[in-house]
């Protein structure tokens, strides 16, 4: 029996590879685990097998006979608009798009809302209005179950408004995150804005961002499938900031490597800081921020 890779199968069906992967996932035939597509028990029942090659590594193949199910395989998912999505979460479409923008799934341009690379990974599709020409994004109905989107609404963030030199500065407070790393290093240093951080270096960074008048979140869950929390996040510019402190700890180095791989994978804007930067933060941080269009002076 001849087998086809998922890529070849998509070509035979004349659909986008990513759409086929999404459909197969929605059927329960495959799942995304540790950045890899893997067969489920149902996928194996459908004849799917796993193959390995030096060039492509491990990949999934399907019996050629599966082409007989063409119309099921290319079935379009039910798509919903930002208006429908907003109604589900009891927010306006405008507010919903701002939240999607903060998650990094869409970007605003002169013609409307544009889906990002990250937004496409969760099923976002770009459309243009027939008469006005404005751009908008539609989402698969399954997005309602997305943990990253749900957390944007379920995590109750206390927002404080602080007047500073005629600036109404909103500081985002997030609840403490409990992982082995965070249990080991207690957040006991209180910053000017009320954040409790885990080291004196993070205290300096948080206070500096506050003094610059930059809205920022501390230990924010990054809206991707993988488990990643960033040290600091600037929602207005979508910039992530990581401070690397325990350079001599092998376990910490492994964690650092994993985080950098994820930042690179999703092409996030990242500023990296170390002990040398902290000693002269007012010199280093403004220059690093300026590279992403953020001016502090």
Domain CATH number, residue 167:
3.40.960.10
Cα(253)–Cα(247) distance, integer angstroms: 7
pLDDT score recorded for residue 171: 44
Please provide the DSSP assignment of the chain as one string. --EEEHHHHHHHHTS-HHHHHHHHHHHTSEEEETTEEEE-HHHHHTT-EEEEETTTEEEEEEEGGGGGGHHHHTPPPPEE-HHHHHHHTT--HHHHHHHHHHHTSEEEETTEEEE-HHHHHTT-EEEE-TTT--EEEEEEGGGGG-HHHHHHHHS--EEEEEEETTEEEEEEE-PPP-SHHHHHS---EEPTTS-EESSHHHHHHHHHHHHHT---EEEEEPSSSS--EEEEEETTTTEEEEE---TT-HHHHHHHHHHHHHHHHTT-EEEEE-HHHHHTHHHHHHHHHHTTT----
Q: Please return the burial class of 89, using the count of CB atoms within 10 Å of its CB with bins 0-12, 13-18 and 19+.
A: middle
283 and 182 fall within a common domain: yes
What is the residue whose two structure tokens read 């943990």?
147
Stretch 43-70: mean pLDDT = 87
The answer to whether the CB of 196 falls within 8 A of the CB of 176 is yes
Residue 261 belongs to some domain of the structure: yes
Q: Which residues make beta-bridge pairs with 106?
A: 115
| 23-27, 63-67, 86-90: segment of lowest average pLDDT | 23-27
Cα(130)–Cα(157) distance, integer angstroms: 39
170 and 278 fall within a common domain: yes
pLDDT score recorded for residue 16: 78
Which pLDDT tens digit goes with each residue over 79-99? 888 888 888 888 888 888 888
Supply the range of the domain harboring residue 92.
79-149
142 and 212 fall within a common domain: no
Terminal C-alpha separation, the chain: 67
Which comes out higher in pLDDT, residue 71 or 221?
A: 221
Instruction: Write down the mean pLDDT value for the chain.
Output: 81
18 and 68 fall within a common domain: yes
Q: How confident is the model at residue 273 (pLDDT cuts 50, 70, 90)?
A: very high
Q: How confident is the model at residue 19 (pLDDT cuts 50, 70, 90)?
A: confident
Residue 182 belongs to some domain of the structure: yes
127 and 201 fall within a common domain: no
Stretch 138-167: mean pLDDT = 62
Residue 296 belongs to some domain of the structure: no
175 and 264 fall within a common domain: yes
Q: Which of 13, 45, 73 is the last residue of a domain?
A: 73
160 and 134 fall within a common domain: no
Q: How confident is the model at residue 269 (pLDDT cuts 50, 70, 90)?
A: very high
Flag whether pLDDT at 164 surpasses 60. Answer: no
| 116-120, 122-126, 136-140, 244-248: segment of lowest average pLDDT | 244-248
Query: What's the whole-model pTM score?
Result: 0.55
Residue 202 belongs to some domain of the structure: yes
169 and 272 fall within a common domain: yes
Q: Which of 113, 130, 149 is the last residue of a domain?
A: 149
Stretch 68-80: mean pLDDT = 72
pLDDT score recorded for residue 75: 66
190 and 222 fall within a common domain: yes
Residue 250 belongs to some domain of the structure: yes
Flag whether pLDDT at 39 surpasses 80. Answer: yes
What is the residue whose two structure tokens read 């199968």?
9
pLDDT score recorded for residue 207: 93
196 and 263 fall within a common domain: yes
Q: Which of 97, 123, 149 is the last residue of a domain?
A: 149
Stretch 184-196: mean pLDDT = 79
- How many structural domains compose the chain? 3
255 and 145 fall within a common domain: no
Flag whether pLDDT at 73 surpasses 90. Answer: no
């Amino acid at each position: 029996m001849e087998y086809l890779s998922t890529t070849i199968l998509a070509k035979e069906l004349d659909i986008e590879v990513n759409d086929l992967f999404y459909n197969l996932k929605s059927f329960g035939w495959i799942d995304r685990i540790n950045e890899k597509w893997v067969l489920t028990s149902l996928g194996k029942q459908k004849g799917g097998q796993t193959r390995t090659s030096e060039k492509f590594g491990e990949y999934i193949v399907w019996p050629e006979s599966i082409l007989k199910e063409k119309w099921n395989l290319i079935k379009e998912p039910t798509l919903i608009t930002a208006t429908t999505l907003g109604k589900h979460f009891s927010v306006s479409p405008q507010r919903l798009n701002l939240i999607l923008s903060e998650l990094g799934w869409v970007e605003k341009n002169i013609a409307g809302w544009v889906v990002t690379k990250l937004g496409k990974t969760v099923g976002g599709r770009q459309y243009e209005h027939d008469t006005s020409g404005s751009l908008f994004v539609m989402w698969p109905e399954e997005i309602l179950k997305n943990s990253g989107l749900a957390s944007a609404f379920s995590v109750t963030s206390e927002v404080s408004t602080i007047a500073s030199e005629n600036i109404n500065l909103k500081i985002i407070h997030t609840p403490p995150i409990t992982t082995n790393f965070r249990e080991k290093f207690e957040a006991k240093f209180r910053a000017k804005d009320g954040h409790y951080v885990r080291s004196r270096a993070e205290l300096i960074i948080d206070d500096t961002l506050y003094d610059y008048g930059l809205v920022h979140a501390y230990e924010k869950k990054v809206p991707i499938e993988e488990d990643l929390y960033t040290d600091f996040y600037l929602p207005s510019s979508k910039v992530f900031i990581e401070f690397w402190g325990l350079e001599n700890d092998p376990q910490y180095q492994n964690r650092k490597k994993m985080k950098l791989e994820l930042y690179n994978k999703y092409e996030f804007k990242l500023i990296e800081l170390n002990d040398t930067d902290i000693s002269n933060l007012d010199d280093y941080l403004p220059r690093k921020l300026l590279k992403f269009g953020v001016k502090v002076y």
